[in-house]
Chain A
């Protein structure tokens, strides 16, 4: 069929089954927006900033596992999108971003709103394309979606010069993709899998170390089955919260810098790490030479470059976790779960010694209480997004996540301003869920314009601001490591949150007591409008346990040892 490049873009999006596109128009992408106006195969959400559009597409992708799509114009539209690309790249999120570019004839001339988009985005995309002719556009669009969702997923940028979007040509969306240089390994080597199984059978203190790859591979049921069958305990990274389910007795908790005592001790004492889709990030491992010092390592990952990057691996298995576990689980049939009984007992004692805890208060709302309370009131039917800081860590520690894709946060890049637009994306994808953004008084202002988007599109996301009048996480480091010199972290000067959200078409609640908290949350869910719950929390609360950066995992600062309650109240 004959059509313009702009129409081809729309047809490809429809062919890929995308229901929602997030974006922001401008000169170089206007032809495509003209076609968006004419079609009804997908909805378009006008975010109020390109960064937010990309985060929204990202939230949509994380909530569903499907490719998120964002569209931006050239120059500043694209540069605004870069943080969104980098955020998705670090967390391996499938996404296609389409950017307008100046016409081919102007490329290289410093034309108006010209910027080298493929040059800038090279290190923060899985792959990128500058389209050079209309003929290659259908193939590139097809490949972009394919690359985004296959192998180790990631964001792909398609930069399209404006003249190509008006040109008319033959459109036939390719049915299949043939990239001879791109052949991800899914299956996992049988010999290696057998060897790994032997190692599990011989181990005395094995530990499942679960990362975001389990979520990406949709393998959580198999992971639970493996744990159940063998009774091997598990720890989750920040990206894997929800994989085991909070009620699972085999789940020790989250490990790493703000991991709980039992999880970090388990990693320090295990004799066999079974890493599934985790990448040994420095926030997880602490001091590398002390990390899992007594253990052999099985590492299952779809990305060979993750294996032996930081930690020597004894049983490397390159493959998709689902496919590897489908082979591995039957081979573990003969394992007697009693074998690891003594190990489980040790870990149970560790957890009793220092459970994940905090001291609650009747005078002031503790941020941890607020999170647990949300868990009690909405629990499994909510999707929780978050920004970056203390509130994010408390959410990861204290929320009772039941399933993967229930917890959406920027783990790898740690992007403040992610939470609200990601919540909008998740809510568009899953309108039946209550979507709650747990945020801070610093982070929320980094994409606060999205209140308008949420209000306009009747996308009622609840923003719980754990308001400590601080850039709290930075303040915490200043308390511990900079002799309390609170350089530029005091946020005493604040907007009127209620007025701010109401000016954008939402509802505001100021919350200072537990009763008000419950009432506000209930009302927010009933009113079904975008809202702020401005929750005044204990200012100097610290996230604990904490492993100081570069320290060994077993050297944790623990709650009882630190006076964290009312310091300088």
Chain B
């Protein structure tokens, strides 16, 4: 195999929307020793299918096996190993109200986001952007003493 490096990959799995289908998918990863970096699931509108997006790592042979093994699961309809795709991830970050709010707002705005909630003690900022940029945003946000960070996991769609 020419490609033996562990590459990051995003796979979309279209499955029948039935009970325990997510368990089948994740158990396959656990049982065969594949990585899950992130995972998102939601029903596909106007259908009886769901869309699972999995961010994983592996060399070419592992990726090929993951795809084929996913395909073998009976309720799996389609497996798309993305080449050309639009990827987005969402993140929510909670800051103490004492931090500089206009700085935080400006930072979030620079990453296509903004402040979405202001409470008595906390503010919440939201960013939805490419995964790499989300990572940068989180790094930059460290300066403002974030008390909680919730990432949504990657969603992707073929270009």
The chain A residue with its CB closest to the CB of B76 is A181
Q: A520-568: which residues lie under 8 A (CB-CB) from chain B?
A: none
**A130 interface contact, C-beta 8 A:** yes
Given contacts A147-B74, A309-B65, contact A181 B16 (CB under 8 A): yes
The answer to whether A180 and B71 touch across the interface, beta carbons within 8 angstroms, is no
The answer to whether B1 and A312 touch across the interface, beta carbons within 8 angstroms, is yes
Tell me, in angstroms, the Cα distance from A182 to B16 when the chains sit together: 11
Given contacts A179-B74, A181-B75, A181-B77, contact A305 B23 (CB under 8 A): no
Interchain CB contact (< 8 A) of B69 among A130, A179, A305: A305
The answer to whether A123 and B65 touch across the interface, beta carbons within 8 angstroms, is no
CB distance from B75 to the nearest CB of A (A): 5
CB distance from B9 to the nearest CB of A (A): 17
Proximity string of chain A (298-312) to chain B, C-beta cutoff 8 Å, 1 when within and 0 when not: 000001110011001
The answer to whether B16 and A118 touch across the interface, beta carbons within 8 angstroms, is no
Interface SS majority for chain B? helix
A-B contact count (CB 8 A): 35
Tell me, in angstroms, the Cα distance from A519 to B93 when the chains sit together: 84
The chain B residue with its CB closest to the CB of A143 is B74
The chain B residue with its CB closest to the CB of A126 is B74
Tell me, in angstroms, the Cα distance from A498 to B152 when the chains sit together: 68
Task: Please count how many residues in chain A sit with their CB below 8 Å of the partner chain's CB atoms.
Answer: 19
The answer to whether B24 and A305 touch across the interface, beta carbons within 8 angstroms, is no
The answer to whether B27 and A304 touch across the interface, beta carbons within 8 angstroms, is no
The answer to whether A122 and B16 touch across the interface, beta carbons within 8 angstroms, is no
The answer to whether A308 and B72 touch across the interface, beta carbons within 8 angstroms, is no
Tell me, in angstroms, the Cα distance from A182 to B77 when the chains sit together: 8
Proximity string of chain A (445-477) to chain B, C-beta cutoff 8 Å, 1 when within and 0 when not: 000000000000000000000000000000000
**A433 interface contact, C-beta 8 A:** no
Task: Please count how many residues in chain B sit with their CB below 8 Å of the partner chain's CB atoms.
Answer: 20
Proximity string of chain B (65-81) to chain A, C-beta cutoff 8 Å, 1 when within and 0 when not: 10011011011110000
The answer to whether B68 and A304 touch across the interface, beta carbons within 8 angstroms, is yes
**A330 interface contact, C-beta 8 A:** no
Please name all residues of chain B whose beta carbon is closer than 8 Å to the beta carbon of A122 when the two chains form the complex.
23-24, 27
Tell me, in angstroms, the Cα distance from A96 to B64 when the chains sit together: 30
Please name all residues of chain B whose beta carbon is closer than 8 Å to the beta carbon of A403 when the two chains form the complex.
none
**B20 interface contact, C-beta 8 A:** yes
Q: A168-223: which residues lie under 8 A (CB-CB) from chain B?
A: 179-182
**B4 interface contact, C-beta 8 A:** no
Proximity string of chain A (106-123) to chain B, C-beta cutoff 8 Å, 1 when within and 0 when not: 000000000000110011
Tell me, in angstroms, the Cα distance from A308 to B66 when the chains sit together: 12
Please name all residues of chain A whose beta carbon is closer than 8 Å to the beta carbon of B27 when the two chains form the complex.
122-123
Tell me, in angstroms, the Cα distance from A353 to B101 when the chains sit together: 86
Tell me, in angstroms, the Cα distance from A182 to B78 when the chains sit together: 10
Please name all residues of chain A whose beta carbon is closer than 8 Å to the beta carbon of B68 when the two chains form the complex.
304-305
The answer to whether B75 and A305 touch across the interface, beta carbons within 8 angstroms, is no
Query: 16 extra interchain contacts, Cβ-Cβ under 8 A, other than A180-B77, A305-B69, A309-B65?
Result: A118-B20, A119-B23, A123-B31, A127-B74, A147-B74, A179-B74, A180-B16, A181-B15, A181-B16, A181-B76, A182-B74, A303-B72, A304-B68, A305-B65, A305-B68, A312-B1
8 tightest Cβ-Cβ pairs between the two chains A and B: A305-B68, A127-B74, A181-B77, A123-B31, A304-B68, A182-B74, A122-B27, A305-B69
